[in-house]
Homo-oligomer: A and B are copies of this chain.
Amino acid sequence: MTLAEPPVTPTTLPEPAPAAEEHTEPKGLAIICYSGDLEKTWAAMILASTAGAMAMPTKVFVTFWGLQTFVRDDVRITGDNWMQKMMSFMQRPGISHRKLSKMNFFGMGPWMMRKLAKQYNVASPKELLEMATLMGVEFVPCQMTMDMFGIKREDLIEGMGDPVGAATYLSYVGDGAAPLFI
């Protein structure tokens, strides 16, 4: 999906937004995108893009392995010192390079999952991320993770918010946003 196309409603968003009519103040969603696994990335992106479509104010705090997902697909090695470089070498960053947490089978598992998704008209994690961003979902990177892994702003995809810490995330929750740790 490119941004110029008319928005295609994928089968992952099959229903009209029922929440909007039933109550007056949606307090929003505060997702911690912690995992870098393909299937959890998918789950986080489906929830984020659906929340965006339902006009729930949604923030996604991207941390630990999850931050690797938001490194640009064309960046191969990140970090300043050999430890940071080795970590990015062992686990290729980027949303298009996520692996399954199980049944990976040297890439065959993810290939099958992506093939099945296409067959059943389910949007890919990358497409869902683009949709979510278009619909106002804010993705914010964790400053501490950036420091520890040596990941810089220019390594990350465009459109992300300024790096923040756990206190900012908890302030969303303190203000009533529903927390999800994925």
Residue numbers of A with Cβ under 8 A of B are 11-19, 22-23, 26-27, 29, 32, 34, 39-40, 42-43, 46-47, 50-51, 53-54, 56, 63-65, 83-84, 86-87, 90-91, 102-103, 112-113, 115-117, 120, 122, 143-144, 147-149, 164-171, 173-176, 178-182
Contact = CB atoms under 8 A, between A and B. Distances in A.
A112 B91 CA distance: 15
A90 B116 contact: no
A50 B144 contact: no
Given A12-B165, A14-B165, A43-B63, A170 B87 contact: no
A56 B53 CA distance: 28
Nearest to A109: B87
Contacts of A43: 32, 34, 63-64, 181
